[in-house]
Amino acid sequence: MSEDTIWVNLVPNPNKTADNHPDWVAPPNTNAPEGKKWTIGVNVNGVWHNQAGWNNKDDQGNLEGITIKMTPNSATGSPKAAPTNKGFQSKPSYDNKESYKF
């Protein structure tokens, strides 16, 4: 297999309950710890991605193809920005203050 080839494995989504849910999802990871619902992701250049697919249908409802979406896994994706100060007072800085002597 070529290293430039990306293989994406999808299975029908057994939990689809709304139109905005994907029709296709990654298969379950049989090596997941008990109680975990891990799926088998896709590794692209050392970054793991989650994949999902939606059916494309014509005006008569006939399947024309599948649109696949791949997003970086939150555990290995791009680093998240530092949280912003949510209205709390910043920690005071005493670097430039004169010292008091008692």
Q: What share of the chain has pLDDT > 70, as a percent?
A: 70
Number of residues in the chain = 102
Number of domains composing the chain: 1
Instruction: Count the Cβ atoms, other than its own, within 10 Å of residue 47.
Output: 13
Domain of residue 20, residue span: 11-72
Establish if 86 belongs to a structural domain. no
What are the angstrom distances between the C-alpha of 24 and each of 30, 54, 96?
Answer: 18, 6, 59
CB 42 within 8 A of CB 70: yes
Name which residue leads in pLDDT, 79 or 29: 29
Establish if 35 belongs to a structural domain. yes
Which is it for strands 47-57 and 63-72: parallel, antiparallel or unpaired? Answer: antiparallel
pTM above 0.85, yes or no: no
Q: What single DSSP character describes residue 40?
A: -
Residue type (1 letter), 15: N
Model confidence pLDDT, tens digit, residues 31-81 = 989 999 889 999 888 899 999 999 999 999 999 999 999 999 876 544 455
Establish if 97 belongs to a structural domain. no
Establish if 18 belongs to a structural domain. yes
